[in-house]
Structure formats: C-alpha cells, structure tokens
Structure 1
Amino acid sequence: MNDLFATIIKEAIRRKIKSSESFDELKKEICGHFGVTAPRNANIRDFYEQSLALGNSKDFSRGRKKAELLLLKKILKSKNVRTLSGVAVVAVLTKQYPCRGKCLYCPTEKEMPKSYLSNEPAVMRAITVNFDPYRQVQKRLRALEINGHDIDKIELIVMGGTFSDLPKKYQYNFIAECYRAANNYSLDVRRLKNQRRRTSTLLREQKRNETAKHRIIGLTPETRPDTLDEKEINFYRELGATRVEIGVQSIFDDVLKRNRRGHDVAQTIKATKLLKNAGFKVSYHMMPGLLGSNFKKDLKMFKEIFSNPDFQPDLIKIYPCVVTRNSDLYKLWKLGKYKALTNKNAEKLICEIKKFVPPYVRISRLIRDIPATSIVAGPNISNLRQLIQNKGIKCNCIRCREIRGNYTTKDKITLNRIDYNASGGKEIYLEYVSPDHRKLYSVMRLRIASPYRRPTSTKKKTSDVNGFAVIREVHTYGKLLNLGAKNKNSPQHAGLGKKLIIEAEKIAKKEFNCQKISVIAGIGVREYYRNLGYKLKNTYMTKNI
C-alpha cells in the first residue's frame, strides 16, 4: 500500500495538481491501473507526513519547491472548518456519574454520562476508550492530524453533564491526564499505541504544557448555575479553565420549575457575575421549546439575555428541546400533555434570534448533535445552520463574521469598539474588522471588574482580578498556524492579538486609572504573555501598567 501512496504523491507533484477534484481524478486513474480501490486522502496524507518526519521523502520531494509540497498538503486536508476558527477543538467526556438534576427532558441512558446518548458522535468516540481522558485526547488529536489539521493550539471542551458534581479527585486527575496526553503527543504516537502509563500531577503537567509542542490554550467545563460559588470558581482556575458553559436553559422561573431544573434564575444571574468577575468567558446553553414555554416566550427570552445586564453571555449554544424515549418528558408527550417544537418553528425562531444577536456574542451551536433516529419529537434537522444561511438572513454574531480562510494581505482592517454594562461591571469589546464589519479578524474582551474575592477557606490572598482590569479573551480567527509558524495568508500572522492587548492596556490605564491588568490566560499561552511583560501570579498573568 505504501508503494501506491508514494506513486500517487509523486505523480501529483509531477503534474502540479492544484485542486481536490484533479487529485481525485488522479487517484482513480492510478488505482484503476493497479486494480485497487482508491485510498482515503487521510491515509495518503498520513503516509506523506510520516515520510517527511522520518526523512524518507526524497523520492517525491527532491527538486520540488516548498510551495508545491505545501499545496499538496492543503489538497489532502479535509474539513477545513475544524481549525478555521484559529484553534483545534478537542472534546472529551467524563464517565457516568450521578447528577443533582432531575430534569424532565433529560435522556437518562444506563452507563452514559447524564444527558448524553450512546449514539452521539462524541460519546461514541469516548466509549471506544472507556472514557479514558488520556486516550480520548490522543485519539482526537490523531484524527485531526491525519486529516491535515494543525494541532499545536488546542481548545479542550470537557463534556459529560455537570462537571462540578463529579468527585474532586476525579476532576483533578481527569484534567491532569488531558494535559499529559497533549504533552506526550508527537509523531511517534502513531507507532506507540500502548504507551507506558504513569501517574503525574496536575501542576507538573501544566508546567510542561506551557512550553509543549501541543498546548492547551483554553479549557471549558460544563456545569449547572447552582453549582457555582467562589470556591468552585477558584478550583476551576486551578484546573486551568478559561471558559465555563452553563446549562441555563430558560430565564423564567415558572418554566424552570415545570421542567424540574432544580434552580432558579437568580442562581443563573449570580453565577454569571461570579464568572465574569473572575475573568471567565461565559457560555449559555439555551433550550427553546420547553414544557410551559411557547414561541413568543422563547423569543422574549433571547431578547432578554442579550439586553439585560444581568445576563449578557459571551457565547450561546441553542439546543431546542427534543423528546427521547428514555426521558420523563416522553411519558407526557405520549399522553398528549406536551407538544414539541416543530422543525419549521425552530427554524423560524432561530431566524428571528439571528436578527438581533449582538456582535460581541458567538452562537456556537444551533442544534444539538443527537441522531435523528433517537428523537421521537422535536427538531431533528442536523443542517439547520445551512438552511438558515440559504435564506440570506444577516447575522452579526461572531461565528457568522469570522474570516476563516478568506484572509488576504490586501484586506483593509479597522478597529471597532463596543462598550456595555454587564453583571455589575464594565465590558469593553474590541474587534478588528473589515470596514463594513462583515469580516471579523480578531477580538478582545476587557472587563473592569467589580470586586471578586477568593473564599476565606483558601490560603491564597485576594484574587488578582480584584479592583482592576481583566482581559477575558483574546482570539484571532482564520487558519490555525502552528506555534512559531509564519503564513502571510492567515490573520494569525498579522500580530492583531498583540495590538489588541496593547490597546486594552491603554484603555485600562487612561480611562479607568487602573494600575495593573490581568489575563485569564490558558496554560498553553502563558509563555506568549510572558513575552509581553506579564508575570504569573496565582493563576493569572498580571502586569503593572
């Protein structure tokens, strides 16, 4: 098979193939000659990468320009969208464990994490390795790598329900293993399937990750609003978390009660404020179509979270309520006591939401990744985003404006600023955009925080975000570049993030008389901030200004 791969690669370079279509035709031609089935591009690319790494590529790289070799790698890449937001997203699942929630709609499948089904793609990947965090991370990195994606900058999403309800020792070890998996990942991983396991500590693996080849630059757990207090938020910082996804679902107490959520809207408001004052990005999970709600009420809910300073999430995931067989809602649906949201109404609702979503909010998802075969009633269209795009709805959310792969060095880029009040503090949102604001290159969130103190039970002093400015996010979009790599065709090469940080420092000092500024930096970007004059103090990168 390796001879076949080498033949295809050599011929593609010789003919100067420039498109995926031409490459597919070449594969068919060569495989027809050999009388074999055409291999997947991922397998060809894997062979190509290994040959380059082992120095066995002379036969097909001799005398070729670097640009020609890079073009071939680009052609072999699949699913560019996986890293066009500037990071490689790796989702891992925790094991099954009891959750304090008794939610009416929650699918409760035996031996599965609460609210997850065994046939969801991310769950299926976790099952194959028995929910082992180390193997989950390495397998996902491997899958991204063989499909041509750069994996040096990793955004780790920890799924599996209410993370805070897991035993603390399990949480600690789970995250430590995720860091260790990233630290140990290399080209050798494809040949060493059973690496020798050894125990390690979270702090040790975090320190390694600061300068590792594959760095975790963001970490996101998901939890319920009633689990979050100052002590828990402090623990999240020790883990290296930079964003928290909260299962808000609704902001109406009557709806929350009918669906047995077990918390009220006041707890959502409190959790949001605590997280923002600690520098976290806040993502809401919202669930239209719940028992006791309706189209008008759902629309009002989204308008409220975007306009009321008590809420103002940075990101949202919209998960329309669906009926699954192993939920208590299924019983009500069978009795005719619950009417699910239809595909048509779900599409109509989200079209309306997209008309007023603020430009500083990112709609991360429009529908949950539950297979249609598991949905008894409720929205079951997996391509909802595409259907809405086809309607020509203009959406100002971050995701819809991300530059992705459309950047050129000739692009005109301007700085835009939006100020708004949220959770008792002042938010300054900066973005580099095109003159018409339709192309988004880089963003930054600066918060002039209201006081946030660590719980008195800890030995650490008052948090480093008490009484001064905290940068909650710096993110440059476009094609993900490996650490230290240069590519004039990616905004990540333009230094936009650094410019935004300098601008934030000026604003904090001149407009708010702040003496210092902190960044809730992911473990993998601490070195970046050190190079800008920041120092690690407790879990924040801090600088006197």
Structure 2
Amino acid sequence: MTINRQIIKEIIKEKISTPDALSALKRNFSKKNKVKIPTNIILLKAYYSMIKNGETKRSASIENLLKVRKVRSQSGVVVVAVLTKDFGCPGKCLYCPTEKGMPKSYLSNEPAVMRAILNKFDPYKQVKMRLQALENSGHPIDKIELIIIGGTFGSLPDKYRLWFVKRCYQSANTFAANSKAPTFAKAMAGKQITNPKWFDMLTIPSGVEGQTPNSKSQTLKKAQQLNEKAKHRIVGITVETRPDYINEKEILKLRELGGTRVELGVQSIYDDVLKLNRRGHNVSQTICATKLLKDAGFKINYHLMPNLPGATMVRDKKMFKEIFANPDFQPDILKIYPTVVVKNSKLYNWWKRGKYKPYSDKKLLNLLIDIKKGIPPYVRIMRLVRDIPAQSIIAGSKISNLRQIIEQKTRQDVLRCRCIRCREIKEVKSEKFPPKADAPRAQKVKVKSLKIVRRNYNASGGKEIFLSFEDTKKDKLFALLRLRIPSFAFRASEDKPSKKHFIGALQNAAIIREVHTYGQTVPIAKKSKTAAQHIGLGKQLIAEAERIARDEFKIKKIAVISGVGVRDYYRKLGYGLKDEYMVKSL
C-alpha cells in the first residue's frame, strides 16, 4: 500500500476533520517514511483511485477536507473564465495596455490569460482544462458560471461570438465522457496536476481527444438543449462590454447566447473624467444601458476605477455614494479596480512626465475602507483589485490582498462592509439534520432560525425588491432573490397602457433577475448536511416573489432570466420557456 493510501486510511480511521489535524498527520507520515509531504491534490488522486478499486466509499467530509482553494466553490457555483481572441478594441483609453496579440487591457502574464494562450484561445479547450483542474482539486463542477472576458464583447463579430459560446456549451456537455478517455487521463497524469502552484493555469498540450463527430454542424440551440440535462451545466453566462455597445438589438443577441449578467465598463460617473481618459462614452449612455439591461432581467456588474486622471479622493468618495443614492445607477455587483500604471499604455507616458501620480497605499486603503462601509447589503463587491502581476505594475498599489487587509482593519468597527460577499455563508452545519463532526470550519446555524428579509429600492424607473434568507443575529446571508417590477414604460396602469416591451415574453411581467443560494456547491439533485444548497430556500424565495408580484402589484405574469442549465429547475416550479426566458402565469 502506498503512503498516500495509508494517509487516506488514517484520515478515515481517526476521523480527521480539520486542516490543522490533516497537516499534522501528513507531517508525521512524511517524517516516519522519509518522503516528501504529499499535496492535497495527490491525496485526492489516491482517494479517487481507492474508490474506483472498491477500497473505500465516497465521503463528502474527506472531499471537503482535501479540497484545494475552497473559495473556488464557496459561492454555490464554480467560475470558469474564458478569453476571446484579439479582434482590436474600439476604445482608446489612457490606462489600458496594448500588448501585441492580446485583447486590449489584458496582459499575457495574468493567470486567466496564460491559460487562454496555452490553449490557443480555443473555447472548448479552455473550458475543459479549467473543469479538469477544478475537479482534480476536489470541487463539484456540476454548476458552472461561465465568464467570457477579452474586452468589449459587443465589438466582436456575431459569427465568432456564436461559435465561441456554442463551443463552451459543447465542452461542458462532453466533459464527463471526455475525462474518462485514456488519452485524456494520460495527459492529466503529469506534474502540472499534482503541483498546487499550477492550479490556475492547468492545461493539456494535446486537444485531439474529446471531439464529437457532429460538433461542427451542431447548432447553438441544440448544444443548449443538451446542456439543460447535462452532468455539467452552465447556469449563467457573463460578458463584459461598454455602455455604448448596449441597445435592444444587442440584448436580444445576448439572450440568444444564454447571457444572464453583463459587466459594464463604467469606470467613472463624471463626464469630464471619462473624456480626459478617452473612454469614448458618457454618463448618459451608462444610465441608458443600465435601464435597458435591468428591464431585460440582467444582473449588472459595474467596473469602477478610483484614482483615474482627473479624479480626486473627494470625488472618488462622492462617486461611490452617488451610485447608490441615485436610482439611475444602482448596480447589483461591483468590481473596483484602482488605477495602476503599466507599460504599453498612454498613462505610462503621462506618469513618466509627472502628469499623473497614483494614490499612496495608505490613501488608497483609507478610500476603500470608506467605500466598503457605504455599500448597501443588496450589492456584492466581486473584486477589489485587478489580477495584474506586481512585476507588471510600474506605479500604483501592488498589494494583491487588499480585501483581507481591509477586513482585518475593520473587524472591530461598528460600521463595516455588509456587502453580499462579506455576509454570505461559506459552510454551514445545519441543526435541521443530525449533527455531525465532519464539517471543518463550518458555522453552526439553525435553519429554522433563518428569516426572509425584504429590502425595497427604486432603480432605473422601476422597483427592485431584494429578498434574502438571513440569520439576522449573526448577519449571515444564505440565499437571495432579485425581483424587478419593470420601469413604468413597460407597466400598464389604470389610466394608460404599457409600452410594448422589446422582448415579448416580458410584456407586463415581473422579472426575477437572480436566485442564488450560497455555501459550498452541492451537485445537482444531491443534498449535503454541511451546505445550504438544495434545502428549499430558493423555492421559498420564488414563492414569495410570485406572491408580491401578484398580490401587491396585480401583475399576472412573472419571468425568470434563467441560465440554460437551470431551466429544468424552473420547469418543476411550473415555468415554461418563451423567448429565452422561463415564464409563468400568476
């Protein structure tokens, strides 16, 4: 029996349940047998081999214990980022690097970009290799949040976009079969899979395996239909684009592809700052894009850049307050990217001439602390710093763990960040089930102590109702739902009919823009005693949203902007597919 198998047997025998206990066990075995301490990925490989040979049974607690980088699946889904090829960028922004062969604003040494380069920007291979890396690291990969990066998605040729997204669906659809192919297993047996430092850029040089005979002739619609019942389902698709590229026609195209969220490169809400930085769009276009997207049910993620040329500390603070005080904005999600200077950008020349000076680390930290304290509880801060390697940053903050530093500094503050990410549950040991000691670092919470919290706010001419299941005593969020009563133009009243919606299924309909249960990802149709998923929280929120739309607003129809991989879930709740939305009469 190998050392790795012995360690797995000892984990089972001694009921090892914490990372510290696991580390001690590995050190003891290593010292005793005079071998290198095995990584968790190597132990996972041995564990899966033992299951295959009938030496042990699957154990959720062991898989959770050995999981690498648990944060990858702690928000209920696994994120797979894929990069499009460079087709040129319509923007001429001061701060964006322009590296040959790279989509503008991306650097070749960023982790996601390196994966794309190694896979020659092939979407099929990018998805497949990322899923393999996640699976080999112990993460369930049933629910995939696909994020398509590479700059302005709306500027890419329609034919390329359709092909790119179709290949992503095909990769997810065929992954289960492909991963069992002998050539695939052989390729994955190298050093890259057993070394954690390669986790973020895992790839296979050969891409011949896994192609299906009809993959070229298969339509996007067929690939989507197959994904509805596939083992690995794409539950949401995010694209990034500019405000001036959003219009009714573009939104219809995004829905055809299965898009559910849009990341808007807003950067600033001041026209003079946008003009100075040569953004090529204005604030009114941001406001218009936000309204159109919300009335189509999309979740909206603003990219905002403090410390742009023309901005000041005072104006930056004011900008973040204005975004949530003004109903014309009100994004659901934020990515905050403090401006940095990199080579191959016009800003680099400004900095060299002394025309631009970034904030000091201390000033930036104080600014971000102030910003985070003012974020509403219905907003998620997804990122606080761009993933640019420190060696590429010529001027500006090189601190990559700003979020953790801020959390440490504000832990004892009465006023601290209450964004969704800061409050979402990670792991939960539910007292609804028989208690077990197999949830490392789990937080003990009584499911029956959860309550539905409702928050109302006005946004883009409509009403937003944010429903969430929370443990209010511990300020922990378990599940959420975003219900939109559309802008007045698309709602009938006693004295005037509604304007015709540009999407037929949404005419006179309330729209559910998001339903999400947090905590460790649980495979489709499974339940876990240490996770909040699949215990009915989402269904209860949907039922409450239906009641609000019907009883309070007298709306007779409700629609959900559902990802392709979640359509079956809504069918079980009485919804049917129409115009790419799941729709139900109330």
- Measured against the shorter chain, the TM-score band is over 0.9
Is residue 558 of structure 2 the alignment partner of residue 540 of structure 1? no
Q: Secondary structure at the match of 1:337?
A: coil
Specify whether residues 176 and 230 from structure 1 end up closer, same or farther in structure 2 by C-alpha distance, changes over 3 A only.
same
- Deviation >6 Å, runs of 4+: none
**Contact 2:27/2:37, CA 8 A, preserved across alignment:** yes
- Aligned counterpart, 2:442: none
Q: How far is the alpha carbon of 1:341 from its aligned partner?
A: 2.1
Q: Tell me by how many angstroms 1:8 deviates.
A: 2.6
C-alpha deviation, 1:28, in angstroms: 3.5
Alignment of structure 1 residues 311-350 onto 2, 5 Å: 311-350=329-368
1:131 to 114, 118, 121: 121
Q: Secondary structure, in 3 states, of the residue corresponding to 2:284?
A: helix
Match of 1:195 in 2: 209
1:155 is matched with 145
Cα deviations by residue, 1:95-129 (Å, 9 ceiling, x for unpaired)? 11201000000011111111000111111111111
Match of 1:401 among 411, 418, 423: 423
Alignment of 1:37-56 (within 5 A): 37-52=36-51, 55-56=52-53
- Bigger mean CA offset, 522-531 vs 35-44: 35-44
Equivalent in 289, 297, 304 of residue 307 of structure 2: 289
Please, which of 513, 516, 524 is the counterpart of residue 565 of structure 2?
524
State whether residues 179 and 209 of structure 1, in contact with CA within 8 Å, keep that contact through their aligned partners in structure 2: yes
Q: CA deviation at 1:48?
A: 2.0
1:502 pairs with one of 543, 547, 568: 543
- Does the CA contact (< 8 Å) of 2:119 and 2:126 recur in 1? yes
Q: Does 1:309 align with 2:327?
A: yes
- Amino acid in the other structure paired with 1:30: F
Question: Which of 6-15 and 232-241 deviates more?
Answer: 6-15
1:7 aligns with 2:6: yes
1:120-269 correspondence runs (5 A)? 120-186=110-176, 188-189=178-179, 191-193=182-184, 194-197=208-211, 198-199=215-216, 200-269=218-287
Deviates more, 1:373-382 or 1:27-36: 27-36
Of 180-189 and 13-22, the range deviating more from structure 2: 13-22
Q: Which residue of 1 aligns with 2:202?
A: none
Map 1:303-452 → 2, pairs under 5 A: 303-392=321-410, 393=413, 394-409=416-431, 410-411=446-447, 412-436=449-473, 438-450=475-487, 451=489
CA distance in 1, matches of 2:66, 2:342: 39
Secondary structure of the corresponding residue to residue 504 of structure 2: coil
Q: Distance in 2 between matches of 1:188 and 1:136?
A: 14
**Cα distance change of structure 1 residues 153 and 29 upon mapping to structure 2, 3 Å threshold:** same
**How far apart are the structure 2 equivalents of 1:184 and 1:279?**
30
2:54 aligns with one of 32, 53, 57? 57
Q: In structure 2, do the counterparts of structure 1 residues 403 and 323 end up closer, same or farther at CA, with 3 Å as the change threshold? A: same
Give the one of 85, 95, 99 matched to 1:109: 99
Q: Secondary structure at the match of 2:2?
A: helix
Once residues 133 and 270 of structure 1 are traced to their aligned partners in structure 2, the CA distance between those partners, rounded to angstroms, is 31
Q: Which residue identity does 1:3 align to in structure 2? A: T
Contact 1:282 1:313 in 2 (8 A): yes
Q: Residue by residue, what CA displacement relative to the aligned partner does 1:221-272 show, whole Å, maximum 9, x if unpaired? A: 0000010100001000000000100000001000000000000001000000
Q: For residue 457 of structure 1, what is the aligned residue in structure 2?
A: none
Q: CA RMSD in A?
A: 1.8
Q: Distance in 2 between matches of 1:341 and 1:187?
A: 51
Q: Distance in 2 between matches of 1:506 and 1:534?
A: 15
Counterpart AA for 1:505: E
Question: Which amino acid in the other structure matches residue 533 of structure 1?
Answer: G
1:24 alignment counterpart:
23
- Paired residue secondary structure (2:119): coil
Q: Which moved more, 1:9-18 or 1:311-320?
A: 9-18
The residue identity in structure 2 corresponding to 1:16 is K
460-469 or 306-315, which deviates more: 460-469
Q: For 1:461 and 1:139, how far apart are their aligned partners in 2?
A: 38
Task: Tell me how far 1:37 sits from its aligned partner.
Answer: 2.1
Question: Residues 16 and 446 of structure 1: is their aligned pair in 2 closer, same or farther, counting only changes over 3 Å?
Answer: closer
Residue deviations 1:371-412 (CA, integer Å, cap 9, x gap) = 111111112110100110011251111111101114533241
Q: Which residue of 2 aligns with 1:482?
A: 523
More deviation in 436-445 or 517-526? 436-445
Q: Deviations over 1:263-295 (max 9, x none)?
A: 000100000000000000011000010000100
Q: C-alpha deviations, 1:321-357, integer Å up to 9, x for none?
A: 1100110000010000111122212111111111211
Aligned equivalents of 1:242, 1:236: Cα separation in 2: 8
Equivalences, count = 529
> Alpha-carbon deviation of 1:437?
6.7
Q: Which moved more, 1:513-522 or 1:460-469?
A: 460-469
- 263 and 212 in structure 1: CA distance in 2 versus 1, 3 angstrom threshold: same
Q: Distance in 2 between matches of 1:315 and 1:208?
A: 30
Cα distance, 1:34 vs structure 2: 4.5
Identity of aligned residues (%): 54
Q: Decide which of 54, 69, 80 is 1:79's aligned counterpart.
A: 69
CA offsets, 1:8-48, max 9 Å, x none?
32233234333333333333443445443233211221232
Deviation at 1:51, TM superposition (A): 4.1
Cα distance in 1 for partners of 2:27, 2:373 equals: 46
SS at match of 2:341: coil
Residue type of the alignment partner of 2:420: I
TM-score w.r.t. the length of structure 1 is 0.94
Q: Does 1:277 align with 2:267?
A: no
Q: Classify 1:103/1:177 alpha carbon distance in 2 versus 1 (closer, same or farther; 3 Å).
A: same
Q: Deviations over 1:130-155 (max 9, x none)?
A: 11111111111111111111111111
From the superposition, tell whether residues 383 and 515 of structure 1 become closer, same or farther in structure 2 (CA, over 3 Å): same
- Measure, in 1, the Cα distance between the counterparts of 2:566 and 2:118: 31
User: Which secondary structure state, in structure 2, belongs to the residue aligned with residue 385 of structure 1?
Assistant: helix
Q: Distance in 1 between matches of 2:80 and 2:210?
A: 23
Letter in 1 for 2:123: P
Shift of 1:6: 2.4
- Tell me how far apart the structure 2 counterparts of residues 379 and 461 of structure 1 sit (CA, whole Å): 44
- Whether the 8 Å CA contact 2:503–2:579 is kept in 1: the answer is no
CA contact (8 A) 1:252 1:265 kept: yes
| Contiguous gaps of at least 5 residues in structure 2 | 185-207, 432-445, 492-500
Work out the CA distance in 2 between the residues paired with 1:462 and 1:72.
47
Matched to 2:406, the amino acid is I
Where 1:376 maps in the other structure, the secondary structure is strand
In structure 2, how many angstroms separate the alpha carbons of the residues matched to 1:186 and 1:20? 30
Contact 1:446-1:470 within 8 A present in 2 as well: yes
CA distance in 1, matches of 2:23, 2:251: 51
